Amino acid sequence: MGAQKPVRVVFFDFGKTLIDYNLDYFFNWLEMTFSVPRHRFWGLFTGDLLQRYERGLGTDEFIREFRTNVAEVLRMLGEKDGTTTAIPQFTDAEFLHAWNSVFAIQWNYQERFGTMRKLRRKGYKVYVLSNTNEAHVRYFRGTDERRTYARSPFLEAFNSCDRFIASCDPDVRERKTMYDGTNREECERIFWRALAIAGAEPSEAVFVDDIANFTETFKRMGGRAILCTGNWTKVEHELYQFGARWK
């Protein structure tokens, strides 16, 4: 592994690093719609279906598989309780509205986007690198059917970087994955694709994320990484320690 070079590229995670989110908003909708405790749905959105969606599965197929899977959940619950549960009717638009409602503008995101813009003005390449899906990307860009005042900060994230690199993008289709001691190659794929997009080596880049497992993967590749714990001043301090200058 070669010596580190001066920083010229910075990758920022999106959710919980630049913008906050709360998955309970979506699970509350599920509980209200299906009259089933929300924790019963957790497995549907932490396993293979969501991972495939974040790797490029189309939104229509995602919703279609959700309908099939939730029908199976209700069937199994009915068998257990000796009851028959009718599947509630909901439109794709209602589902997507609930799916996108998880994003909450709670932090002072302007200071975070401000740092990104200042870095770009100083000549650094700045990217957002996010595990996300087609529906959320459309929501962030404001290109879906529902346009709300809350969309503007998401669109600002796109305008503050050179590119928003989504795991579901056609030239990515990999996601940040937890390293378990055996899957190093799988965990590194999304970073190599992001570095190819940036035209950079790991030693020229910094990656900022709220999940230590992901930052450790990037460091094993020879890059520099910052764990974002919610304090943006800490992130700026560590960027400065790595040699980045924007003032």
Residue matched to tokens 């929300």: 38
- Residue 65: burial class (beta carbons within 10 Å; 0-12, 13-18, 19+): middle
Amino acid (1-letter code) at residue 101: S
> What backbone torsions phi and psi does residue 69 show, to the nearest 5 degrees?
-70, -40
* Cβ contacts of 108 within 8 Å, gap of 6 or more: 232
What pLDDT does 77 receive? 77
**Does the pLDDT at position 124 exceed 60?**
yes
pLDDT for 35: 86
DSSP letter at 106? -
Q: pTM score, two decimals?
A: 0.92
Lowest average pLDDT, out of 104-108, 135-139, 175-179, goes to 104-108
From the list 57, 214, 209, the residue with the least C-alpha distance to 133 is: 57
Residues 19-36: pLDDT tens digits?
888 999 999 999 999 888
Residue 28: predicted pLDDT: 95
Domain layout of the chain by residue ranges: 9-21+105-241, 24-100
Cα separations (Å) of 206 from 7, 64, 186?
7, 38, 20
Which of 30-39, 93-102, 212-221 holds the top average pLDDT?
Answer: 212-221
Q: Mean pLDDT in the chain?
A: 90
Confidence band (pLDDT; 50, 70, 90) for 106?
A: low
Tell me how far apart the 2 most distant CA atoms of the chain are, in Å: 67
70, 88 contact by CB (below 8 A): no
Q: Two tokens at 168?
A: 């579901």
Confidence tier at 145 by pLDDT (50, 70, 90): low
Look up residue 235 and give its two tokens.
């992130």
Separation between Cα atoms, residue 161 and residue 203, nearest integer Å: 20
Give CA 244 to chain center in angstroms.
Answer: 25
> Contact at 8 Å (CB) between 55 and 189?
no
Q: Is pLDDT at 79 greater than 90 in this prediction? A: no
Model confidence over 152-209: pLDDT tens digits?
678 888 999 999 999 999 999 999 999 999 999 999 999 999 999 999 999 999 999 9
Superfamily of domain 9-21+105-241 in CATH is: HAD superfamily/HAD-like (3.40.50.1000)
> What are the helix (H) ranges across the chain?
24-34, 48-54, 59-81, 92-100, 109-121, 134-141, 151-159, 184-198, 212-220, 232-241
